[in-house]
Amino acid sequence: MAIHDLKCIQPYFQPICDSDKTFELRKNDRDFKVGDELILREIDHDLKYTGMYALCDVTSILKDYIGLMPGYCIMSIICNEYGDEADNQADS
């Protein structure tokens, strides 16, 4: 199991938190595997971090599939937790 810290742009971030978007299409440059954890950090259109995060588990992976660009994968994900990093720092 590996933990991957990734950026996620605003229009796609909240649907992941709400469990409306249960997949991620990514370049498979990190050799993603079932059981890996994704730390998705929201960025705005200026590519600046908003402070929001989501912790997700990878439950399945589709790669080397007809119609999917070589080197890319689609991961099924489950969001387990999300929030504002500032709130977590205040609790410390």
Angle of CA points 43, 87, 59, to nearest 5°: 60
Model confidence pLDDT, tens digit, residues 51-65: 999 999 999 999 999
Complete domains list, the chain, with CATH: 3-83 (2.30.130.30)
Model confidence pLDDT, tens digit, residues 17-34: 999 999 999 999 999 999
Among residues 17, 9, 33, the alpha carbon closest in space to that of 80 is found at 17
Whole-model pTM?
Answer: 0.89
Per-residue buried b or exposed e for 26-60, using 16+ beta carbons within 10 Å of the residue's own CB: bebeeebeeebebebbbbeeeeeeeebbbebbbee
Are 41 and 5 within 8 A, CB to CB? yes
Model confidence pLDDT, tens digit, residues 5-17: 999 999 999 999 9
Rounded to a whole number of angstroms, the distance between the first and last alpha carbons of the chain is 27
